[in-house]
Amino acid sequence: MTTEFNWTQPRIVVKRTLLSRKPAENSGLIAAASAMVILFVSVLVWRDSPELMRFSAAVPARVLDHHEYWRLFSAVAVHSDWKHLFSNLPFVVFFSYLLYGYFGFGVYPVGIVVLSAVTNYLSLLTYPPEVHLVGASGMTHVMGGFWLAVYILVERSLPMKKRVLRSLGVALILFLPSTVQPEVSYRTHAFGLVLGIIAAAVYFQRRKRWIRAAEVLEIEEDDDVSGPVVM
């Protein structure tokens, strides 16, 4: 005997993720404080003397030969002029707000600042001894690489293809230079972006259970599927 039988196949979908909630309440304060520190240090260097700029910059000969590793950190907050400063500050504010807001103090500022110093170190390995490396652009690329990669890994409420396309689109808009300027350290940008992506992958694997626990799941049923059942 043959009869018609209709059934539905339920499936579990992710409706909300860790990134669906609002960032932590004091994220704006952290972002503003980050900008103020960089602004204060840069203006202090400009007003005091060129000697302070040379003392703060990451210089291959001083870092690699004389082991003045603190320069890897101080160089992040020092900028050559106002144009250089304000080309980085909006990115620092934007990404610090997101990274601290969703992942906390361990990611930003601690992890990002350490990775920024590593970025500067890797960049110095490729430069002649007399080069002076300053600016937060290496850090902003670490932050951007981390955020865009972790977005792809965490935001499962959207299809993977859409997440990847969104991240690539944002990366092209924010980080692809429209012109090539000889004074800009593009290799530092590249090192920072790659380190940020790697750090995001490592962080996700270590914190996967906590990230998944924040998800809100929902059972949906597919469209009815009809077919004969033989008895």
Q: Is the peptide bond before 109 cis (omega within 30 degrees of 0)?
A: yes
Q: How confident is the model at residue 51 (pLDDT cuts 50, 70, 90)?
A: confident
Mean pLDDT of 78-83: 93
Residues paired with residue 14 on neighbouring β-strands, in sequence order: 217
Percent of the chain past pLDDT 70, that is, above it, reads: 91
Q: Please tell me the predicted confidence (pLDDT) of residue 16.
A: 95
d(CA 228, CA 216): 36
pLDDT higher than 50, residue 231? no
| Residue 104 structure tokens | 């906390």
Q: Please tell me the predicted confidence (pLDDT) of residue 180.
A: 83
d(CA 94, CA 76): 17
Q: Please tell me the predicted confidence (pLDDT) of residue 176.
A: 87
Mean pLDDT of 196-200: 98
Side chain identity at residue 216, one-letter code: V
* 9-28: pLDDT as tens digits: 678 889 999 999 999 999 99
DSSP code per residue over 39-78: HHHHHHHHHH-HHHHHHHSB-HIIIIIT--TTHHHHHHH-
| pTM for this prediction | 0.89
Sorted by sequence, the CB contacts under 8 Å of residue 46 that are 6+ apart come out as 53, 81
Mean pLDDT of 157-174: 94
Q: How confident is the model at residue 229 (pLDDT cuts 50, 70, 90)?
A: very low
Q: Please tell me the predicted confidence (pLDDT) of residue 63.
A: 97
* 132-152: pLDDT as tens digits: 999 999 999 999 999 999 999
What domains are defined for the chain?
Answer: 1-17+215-231 (no CATH), 18-214 (1.20.1540.10)
d(CA 104, CA 24): 8
Mean pLDDT of 208-212: 96
Mean pLDDT of 113-135: 96
pLDDT higher than 50, residue 228? no
d(CA 122, CA 133): 12
